[in-house]
Amino acid sequence: MVCTVVATWPFSLGPVTHCIEMLRDEKTSVSAAVVDAIRLVELDPDVHTVGSYSFPNSDGVLQLDAAIIEVSAGRHRCGSVMALEGFSGSIEAAFTVMTQSPHPILVGDGARKFVESHGLLPSQSPVPTMELPVAKSLNKPAGSHGNHDTVGLIAVRDGVITVGCSSSGKQGKHPGRVGDSPIFGSGLYAEGGVGAAVCTGDGDKMCSFPLAFSVVTLMRSGHTPQEACTQAIQYLLALPQGDAEIEIAVIACSVHGDVGAACSPKYLSEFTFAAGSAEHQAEVYFCQPRPE
């Protein structure tokens, strides 16, 4: 059985482990496991850029964004919510849009009304419980938690691929501001039979370039996830909107369970991701090798 999970930042280590355990049960859908894992990050009191404990916008209001894509042979569906208010997280809302709405994207009060009409109550979602394992790195210690922007998570099991992301955006952002995270092709993308990619970093600069789509396109053309991530980052940095100071990272996973990650020079000493599979315990890695 191919079962691989990869997610951005070390605060995702526990959720990645949790997701893998859920996927061992074939009755649990891949998307349900992804939503449950991201929900753990949204409810983590040590994370202030995703979900319940995030920093508000300039009006003092918490506005959340999230998106999810599910693909398999002959199936492709997606859902996104933007500037969602009144909820402790947004990934469940994005999942509700994906599964219940004829429209793949809903924003603001319209998104709130829709998900409420389908039984999702503001700030009433049950809090899952779990024990977070200690974060480990192949190269040097990494913190088990951090406040590093978007949580993006990819899960692959036997040909079914789901990628999801959740974010509150920048602290003190202008009301209504949306970055790349909930935008299909830019913040995340998946293609059946190929794989998926999800990004994190400076959403204002990233949303003008379809980074996630570019990574998956490169994978479709025969590149490994690592090659695809590296080439897409290099291409973006060479564009007018790209520069060495931009904070940007991307992770990817193929339908076969191979993983890749790359980041801009600005993120080189900071960006880490969590990855694991049914055969290998989840650990935290740097996106490039580091000397001991």
Residue 203 marked in a binding site: yes
Asked whether the beta carbons of 63 and 84 are under 8 A apart, the reply is yes
Instruction: Compute the average pLDDT of residues 78-101.
Output: 96
Quote the pLDDT of residue 205.
Answer: 86
Instruction: Compute the average pLDDT of residues 34-56.
Output: 92
In order of 52, 88, 269, 275, the CA distances from 124 in angstroms are 11, 8, 38, 30
pLDDT at 116 over 50: yes
Summarised one tens digit per residue, pLDDT across range 139-162 is 333 333 333 479 999 999 999 999
Quote the pLDDT of residue 93.
Answer: 98
Confidence of residue 84 (pLDDT cuts 50, 70, 90): very high
Residue 102 included in any domain: yes
Of the chain, the percentage scoring pLDDT greater than 90 comes to 70
Range of the domain at 159: 3-286
pLDDT at 52 over 90: no
Summarised one tens digit per residue, pLDDT across range 11-31 is 999 999 999 999 999 999 999
150 as an active site residue: the answer is yes
Residue 237 included in any domain: yes
Residue 176 marked in a binding site: no
Quote the pLDDT of residue 141.
Answer: 35
Q: Which residue out of 17, 96, 150, 272 is catalytically annotated?
A: 150
In the chain, DSSP finds a helix count (H) and a strand count (E) of 7, 12
Residue 213 included in any domain: yes
pLDDT at 292 over 70: no
Cα separation, 16 vs 38, in Å, equals: 9
Residue 34 marked in a binding site: no
How many CB atoms lie under 10 A from the CB of residue 287? 22
Cα separation, 228 vs 251, in Å, equals: 10
DSSP 209: S
Between these two residues, 288 and 231, which has the higher pLDDT value? 231
Quote the pLDDT of residue 288.
Answer: 65
In what helix (H) or strand (E) does residue 94 lie, and over which residues does it extend?
Answer: helix 91-100
pLDDT at 286 over 60: yes
Residue 178 included in any domain: yes
Nearest to 259 by CA among 236, 242, 234, 284: 284
User: Which of 40-49, 102-111, 263-272 is modeled with the greatest confidence?
Assistant: 102-111
Please give the structure tokens belonging to residue 201: 């970093």
Residue 43 included in any domain: yes
Q: Is 2 left (phi over 0), alpha (psi -120 to 50) or beta?
A: beta
Residue 201 marked in a binding site: yes
Percent helix, strand, coil in the chain, to 5, is: 30, 25, 45
CA 29, chain centre distance (Å): 18
Angle at which helices 211-220 and 225-238 pack, to 10 degrees?
140
How many domains, the chain? 1
Quote the pLDDT of residue 279.
Answer: 95
Residue 292 included in any domain: no
Quote the pLDDT of residue 242.
Answer: 66
Cα separation, 91 vs 34, in Å, equals: 9
Q: Is 257 left (phi over 0), alpha (psi -120 to 50) or beta?
A: left
In order of 64, 130, 242, the CA distances from 247 in angstroms are 21, 31, 10
Residue 291 included in any domain: no
Q: Residue 127 is part of a domain; what is its CATH number? A: 3.60.20.30
Is the overall model pTM greater than 0.85, yes or no?
A: yes
Quote the pLDDT of residue 287.
Answer: 82
Cα separation, 11 vs 142, in Å, equals: 10
Between these two residues, 86 and 269, which has the higher pLDDT value? 86
What rounded mean pLDDT belongs to the chain?
Answer: 88
pLDDT at 128 over 90: no
Residue 202 marked in a binding site: yes
Residue 97 included in any domain: yes
Tell me the pairing of strands 75-85 and 105-107: parallel
Under DSSP, is residue 76 helix (H, G, I), strand (E, B) or coil?
A: strand
Summarised one tens digit per residue, pLDDT across range 165-212 is 999 988 889 999 999 999 999 999 999 999 999 999 989 888 889 999
